[in-house]
Structure formats: structure tokens, C-alpha cells
Chains A and B, each alone.
Chain A
Amino acid sequence: MSKKIKANIISISVSVLLTFLITVLVLLIIGKNPAEVFIMMFEDVFGSGYGFGQTLFKATPLIICGCGLAICFHASLFNIGAEGQLNAGAFVTALVAFALSNAGFLIAVPAALICGFIVSGALGLVPAVIKVKKGVSEVITTIMMNFIILASINFFLIDFFAVKSTVHTEKIPDGIMISKMSDLLPGFQGSSLNLTFVFAILMAVATYFFIYKTKTGYKIRSVGFNETASRYMGIKTNRIVMLAFFIGSGLTSFVGMNFIMGYKGYYEFGFSNNLGFTAIAVALLAKNNPIGIIFSALLFGFLDYGGLAVNTLVPKEIMFVIQGIVILTILSVDKLVEKYYLK
């Protein structure tokens, strides 16, 4: 095993441990018994098929969005705009699915997903093109675009597509919904977990192969490490930047599959609840490795559902705090490992 892989394992486990300790500390400070909280959390998550299913359900969009972001991050593109991109994609997915609902599952679902992918991808292309043509950092443009996209969706939704006096679109018919896992495996006891989870796992594996085993993936990483050298090595770096942004942003749209086709049947404003930002933490924790992202998404899913489960003891909002702590610990532990272990 190379020293680098060892270093990654060390820094991930130390970060998780450190986050755990900080959480314990926070719980103690606010006068709760950490043991009680954690036992309750574990019991709820692992004690019932429902709780476990819900945890996986919460992890699903994080895997999807995390993988999309990982592609951007590998190219050293700080896509802060996933929140907007995925909402636009999911919105379009819902509209297309509804419009094609008579065409049957096999046409409506792929068509809806592809349209969503294209919309999210195209929105990701905007900052990419601005970066390539004008040299403007993608960070600022993606932040600005988040606000623009969300306001636009809000406008189109409320003024044209929403069911009256709600903030969601029309519900798609059951015929084009994706099966619930509990229909196949009754052990999940009616949890919202659906086949999108399997799709997400497959997507993570595919992303892994794309990034680490194909030439295009190598080029993306090469541009991420050193753009100048890549250019001198004959790589069309501008094209790679745009490609990474298009695919990465496009993939985030698939979170709509989980929520729309697997769960509610419609797009609802605000469904993402900062998913695009949480996914940054998920990808970072996994060092942008898609297989690792499955596990870090599960951890976040566990926190998310677990937070709900212990809401009677501690407000579930504590999970937002823990998410922030995870990002900051992984960042700092990483640097320290780099400094003291790798050198």
C-alpha cells in the first residue's frame, strides 16, 4: 500500500473520530447524555428495517451529487453551484416526466432524466465557458448562478407550473414511479428507499472507472493538477474544463430521480435543503473518490436520519452543525497529515 493511501486512511479516520469527539463535547456542553443520544440513534437506524432504509434513502442523493461534484473537483473546479444546478435539473425532470406520462415508464423516465441532465449540465457550462473565455473564477460565478437559478425556478414554478397555492408541480402518475425497495424486500418496512439507491451505487462505480481508468478521466485529473503542463502535453484543457463541468453538473440532476420518481412524484421548491452544499462535504470527506463517496454519503445519511430519530432528545438541527464540523476537521486534519506524516 502506498504511503499516500495510508495517509488518506489515517486522515479520514482521524477526522471522523475527531468529529465524533467534538459532537460528544457539544452534547455534554448542552447538558445531554451523549451515550443516551447515540444509543437512541443507533437503535433507530439499525434497529428497524425502516430506519435503515430511511438512512440509505437519505444517502442516495448525496452519493449522486457527491459523484457529480467529485468530477468537477478532480479538475480543480470549485463548483459551488450544485444547489442551483440540481434544482434546475430536477425541476425539468419532473416537468418532462409529467408531460410524457402517457408514453409509459420506459420512455418517460429516461427522457425525463436525460432532459434533466442536459439542463443541469448546460447550467454548469455557463461558469465553465466564462472561466475559459474570460478567466473568471468559477467560484464566484457559480455562487451568483445559484441565486439566479433558484429565483428563476421560483418564478417559473409559481407563475406557470405549480399546483395552485403550493410550491410543487403536478404529481406524476404511479405508472412512471420507481419501485420502492420495500416492495421488493419487505424488510425495509415501507421506508422511502427506492431503486434509485441501486442506481446511485452503480453510478458511483461508473464514476470511479471514468475518473481513474479512462483516458478522459486522466485528462480531467491532469488538468486539475497542473493546467499549464496539461496544455503542453497536448491536452485541450479548455475542452476538458467544459466537459468536466458539463458532466459533473449534469450528474447532479439525477437526485431528482430519488425525490420525484422514487418518493413524492413531484418537484417541490426547497426539496434539496442545501444538498448541493452538503454534497461538497461528502465529496471532500471521501477525497473525491467515488467509492469513498458511497461511504461518506452513508455517514451523512446516518447523521441526517439519526438526527431526526433523536429529535426528542436533541433538536435535529444539530446535524447541520456536525456537517460543518466534519468539513472543517477533514480540511485541517488533512493538512496536518500532509505536513507531519507525508513529509
Chain B
Amino acid sequence: MNIIEFSNISKKFGNLKANDNISFAVRKNSVHCIVGENGAGKSTLMKILFGSYRQDSGIMKVNGSDVSFNSPLDAIANGIGMLHQHFMLIEDFTVMENVILGSEKTLNIKIDFEESERVLKEYIKKYNLDLNLNKKISELSISEQQKVEILKLLYRNSEIIIFDEPTAVLSPIEVLEFFKIIFQFKVEGKTIILITHKLNEVREISDYVSVLRRGKLVYETEKDILDLKVLSREIVGNVEIQDENTGFDYEGEPEVIAGLNNINLSVNKISVLNNLDLKLKKGEVYGICGVEGNGQNEVINILFGLEKNFTGKLNIFTDKISLVPDDRLKKGMIKEFSVGENLIIKKKECHYISNKCLKKTAEETISKYDVRMPDINAPMESLSGGNQQKVIIAREIELGNDLLIFSHPTRGVDIAASAFIHSTILQQKKKGKSILLVSSDLDEILKLSDRLGVISKGRIVAEFDRNQYNLQNEVEKTILLESIGKLMIGITGEQKN
């Protein structure tokens, strides 16, 4: 029996089709995985189901009847619960306050804390959640916070539960615990929708799988006929790799341009970098891959001079560093400024900023980097993501710095722009620049980097160089990928190379 049916759901943001005519059904009491790359439209679809967004067109059915949700409240009333990727918790509230908020049990005018406690303790025991109800969220670890979110769903008796990339923040052991909870949900007859892009998880727990790519539903399969190879091809699509890195010739030992030695860093008493060692050599592309939030941003901040409260030794043999940050809108640009203004702010020339100077700078970049835009004075925010990214990359490269840091350079960028960005990075390498590439997209790292380091829990747990992973043999390649994958999620079975 279908508990949810999507038919022809579409949703646009500006020019971007986040969901394009998506139709599929979710069976009752199943674990249904929705997989796809970043920006494939998974989260948008789930937010529509949860009432946070409204579809532009298409029909949604829950339990056989048409629904139209104006807010999450409507979704909650229909027994739908969602565990957001970014937790919806109030730091300064206790676990109990967070859980009961919005559905408080009251005794006269007072909140009935005793009764709530009794009910919650039952759930905690049953699902083995091990939570102290009176602790504040700010005192809890990430995995404990996730358990609070789960407790919220239990307290509200949600029958359909959406998990948005729940395991991204968990350690392997915590992932196993989490799976146990999912199985118990299933035993109790609940329906689970799981958004993920980790294929081994899909294999382990899914009953049905739907693949989204660039806003469209491209493939559906189920447990018994699941083929991970087919699945991964469907997720990525047919991307032709154009100019791959032709390799790096380590003649003798190249000079080191930046070295981090035994770096430790704690933020709010939580250790983020843990004896991290990293050497960047002149003229190479060094790729750092890892699950997000394992210390990548902190490494960048230390190199770029934004983070100073670390211990350990930092040697940088250049003060000319460029950075293309991971989050364009928040870190990369001033969206209210025009393209020219965004470029000029870092330029050495143009102390008096005339209109002529602005126009010249903008025009140069627009032609050289093939930026498409409505009008030269238009603010950055009116450009598409790919074009914004090109402007930022242009700004950083044109400074002519020795060390270039790229963090997730192609995130949320279309295929053509991605290819352009990749070839730009390789061109810079040819010019002798040193490049640090941080990405959670393993393919990108493998394609571009001369050496790669796997980061996990604030340290580089393994390093590989190009002739180790530039393999022709498919079997060997698969084995290597699997072992990198394991390292990324923190399973250390191998010695550091």
C-alpha cells in the first residue's frame, strides 16, 4: 500500500528547477532511500512533503488523500515528522523543553513536567537512547543532539519519518546504533524516508531507492535487485572527464610551500583538529577529501590566517594566498555589490575607484572567464551560481598568488561551469601554482589532485599519491575507492601511507 504518492511535483527557485516533474510512491512500512548528489533536489522535495515549501505544480497524496500543506504544522498533523540535516534545537533549552515544545502536556495552566518526564523516560528506555532530560542542548554531543531529535519524533507519534542525511555527522559506531533505531521504527510499522548519498548505507537498510539527478527522478530500484554500480552511475550521470590531471613529476623533493605540523585546535572546548600533519608542496594539487565537518574549514582558516588559537607549528613560505571559500553567498562575495565591485575590492590597483576602472575590471573578467550576466552593473545576486563562482575564482586567480585554496569549488554549479572550473584549476597548476583542493566530492579530488589526504576527526588519516590511485584496473580501483571511503567515515583498518 502506498502511504505517500508524488505526482508531477515541480519547484523552481529563480531559474533553477530544483524539482522537475517528479513522480513516485512510498510504500507503507518501508525504508525508502532517496539518493543523489548535492543539489539534486532531494532536500527540496522533502521540504515540500514536510510543508516547509510549496510545490509550484503537482499533486501529493498522503494515505490516499490529496494534501496541501501550508506549513510544517499541517504535515505534523498528518503524522509526518522530519529530522533536519541542521538540527532544529534550542541550545539554551533542556532536552525536555526541546522535546515537548509545541505539544506540551499541561496541568491547569502549568506545564506538566512530571507527566512529560514519565512518558519520555519510557521512550528513552525502549529505544535505548540514553539521554538526560535535564541537560541543556549546548552540553550535548552531536550524536546526542540527534537522539533528542529522534525523541521529538517519538513524542509526536510520527508515522512517517523523514531523515535528511542523518549519518553525515555520526561516527561509524554511532551509525550502527542509528540503524538499530531505524529497524525498530520499522518493526513498529512506521515508514521511513532516508535522504543520503552514501551507497553502503543504501545497501544496508533500504527497501526501495529513488535516484534524483539535477531535479529529475532518473532511476528507481528495490532491495532485491539493487546493484550499487548501476546506482552510482545513475547518481552521477554520464559526466565526461575532459582534461584530467596529467600527473606530477616529483623530480627530487619539491620545496614545501606550507606545512602544518602537529596542529591541535579546540573550538568551544570541542577538539576540531587533532595532531594534524599536512605538507603542501610547490606546484602540486593537494586534495583533502573527507566527510564535511571533520576539520577541513579549520585547516583553511589556519592557512588563510583567520584562525590563530591553535597549537602546533605552522610554516607558510608565502604570504600570497588566495581562497575560494566553500559557501559563495556567505563567504565568497558581497551579493549587493556588482561584479566589478566584487573584483576591485581585492585588487592592488584602482585606489580611486572610478566607474571606468570598475567597468574595465568587470569586462576583462567577463570575457576571460566567460561569465554570463544580465547587465554589467547588476548586483552579484542576480547571477546564476556557476557564474558567481566564476567571478570569485577569477578574482582569486587574477591576484597572481602562489598558493590557491579551493574549497568545494563546484558545489551547486552546473556541469558546464564545473568543467570550466576544473580546467581553470589545472591551468593554474601548469603555471606552477600550488593548490589546495578541499572537497567532499571524491571524484573531483581523484580527477584533479596529485596527492590526496583523507581527513577524519581533525587529522589526515591517510595519504595517497597519484600513481597509487590512477589505476586502469577496475577491480583495483573499486577496492581503493572503498578503502578511501572507509577512511573518510572513520573506519581505520589501514596504516598511514
Q: Enumerate chain A interface residues (CB-CB to B < 8 A).
A: 2, 4, 212-215, 217-219, 221-222, 225-226, 228-235
Q: Is B333 an interface residue (CB 8 A)?
A: yes
Given A215-B353, A229-B331, A232-B306, the answer on whether A222 and B325 have CB atoms closer than 8 Å is: no
- Which residues of the partner chain A approach B377 to less than 8 Å between Cβ atoms? 2
Q: Is the interface of B mostly helix, strand, loop or mixed?
A: loop
Q: Is B430 an interface residue (CB 8 A)?
A: no
26 A-B pairs with CB atoms under 8 Å apart are: A4-B379, A212-B353, A215-B345, A215-B350, A218-B341, A218-B344, A218-B345, A218-B353, A221-B334, A222-B334, A222-B337, A222-B345, A225-B335, A225-B336, A226-B333, A226-B334, A226-B335, A229-B330, A229-B332, A229-B334, A232-B306, A232-B323, A233-B332, A233-B333, A234-B346, A235-B345
- Which residues of the partner chain B approach A217 to less than 8 Å between Cβ atoms? 353
For B332-357 the 0/1 string (1 means CB < 8 A from A) is 11111100010011100011111000
- Which residues of the partner chain A approach B335 to less than 8 Å between Cβ atoms? 225-226
Assess whether A232 is in contact with B353, with CB atoms less than 8 Å apart: no
For B331, give its contact among A4, A219, A228 (CB under 8 Å): A228
- Which residues of the partner chain B approach A226 to less than 8 Å between Cβ atoms? 330, 333-335
| Bound: A228/B304 CA distance, A | 14
Q: State how many angstroms separate the Cβ of B365 from the closest Cβ of chain A.
A: 15
Kindly identify, within residues 354 to 396 of chain B, every residue whose CB is under 8 Å from any CB belonging to chain A: 354, 377, 379
Q: Is the interface of A mostly helix, strand, loop or mixed?
A: helix
Task: Output the residue of B331, B341, B379 with the most chain A CB within 10 A.
Answer: B331
| Bound: A235/B334 CA distance, A | 12
Assess whether B325 is in contact with A232, with CB atoms less than 8 Å apart: yes
For B298-329 the 0/1 string (1 means CB < 8 A from A) is 00000010100000000000000001010000
Q: State how many angstroms separate the Cβ of B267 from the closest Cβ of chain A.
A: 15
| Bound: A235/B304 CA distance, A | 12
- Which residues of the partner chain B approach A235 to less than 8 Å between Cβ atoms? 345
| Bound: A221/B337 CA distance, A | 9
Assess whether B353 is in contact with A213, with CB atoms less than 8 Å apart: yes
Q: State how many angstroms separate the Cβ of B63 from the closest Cβ of chain A.
A: 37
Task: Output the residue of A217, A229, A230, A235 with the most chain B CB within 10 A.
Answer: A229
| Bound: A214/B323 CA distance, A | 24
- Which residues of the partner chain B approach A232 to less than 8 Å between Cβ atoms? 304, 306, 323, 325, 331-332
Q: Enumerate chain B interface residues (CB-CB to A < 8 A).
A: 304, 306, 323, 325, 330-337, 341, 344-346, 350-354, 377, 379
| Bound: A232/B297 CA distance, A | 12
| Bound: A232/B351 CA distance, A | 21
Assess whether A214 is in contact with B353, with CB atoms less than 8 Å apart: yes
| Bound: A228/B327 CA distance, A | 10
| Bound: A222/B323 CA distance, A | 17
For B330, give its contact among A4, A215, A228 (CB under 8 Å): A228
| Bound: A232/B346 CA distance, A | 11
- Which residues of the partner chain A approach B333 to less than 8 Å between Cβ atoms? 226, 229, 233
The 7 closest A-B pairs by CB, nearest first: A232-B331, A225-B334, A232-B325, A225-B336, A213-B353, A222-B334, A229-B331
Task: Output the residue of B341, B345, B350 with the most chain A CB within 10 A.
Answer: B345
A213: nearest chain-B partner, CB-CB:
B353
| Bound: A4/B345 CA distance, A | 21
- Which residues of the partner chain A approach B332 to less than 8 Å between Cβ atoms? 229, 232-233
| Bound: A219/B347 CA distance, A | 12
| Bound: A2/B338 CA distance, A | 12
| Bound: A127/B306 CA distance, A | 23
Q: State how many angstroms separate the Cβ of B406 from the closest Cβ of chain A.
A: 13
| Bound: A217/B345 CA distance, A | 10
| Bound: A231/B335 CA distance, A | 15
Q: State how many angstroms separate the Cβ of B345 from the closest Cβ of chain A.
A: 5
| Bound: A225/B379 CA distance, A | 13
Q: State how many angstroms separate the Cβ of A289 from the closest Cβ of chain B.
A: 15
B321: nearest chain-A partner, CB-CB:
A234
- Which residues of the partner chain A approach B334 to less than 8 Å between Cβ atoms? 221-222, 225-226, 229-230
| Bound: A217/B344 CA distance, A | 12
Assess whether A225 is in contact with B337, with CB atoms less than 8 Å apart: yes
| Bound: A93/B10 CA distance, A | 66
- Which residues of the partner chain A approach B341 to less than 8 Å between Cβ atoms? 218
Knowing that A212-B353, A218-B353 touch, tell me 10 more A-B residue pairs with CB under 8 angstroms: A215-B345, A215-B350, A215-B351, A217-B353, A225-B334, A225-B335, A229-B334, A232-B306, A232-B323, A232-B331
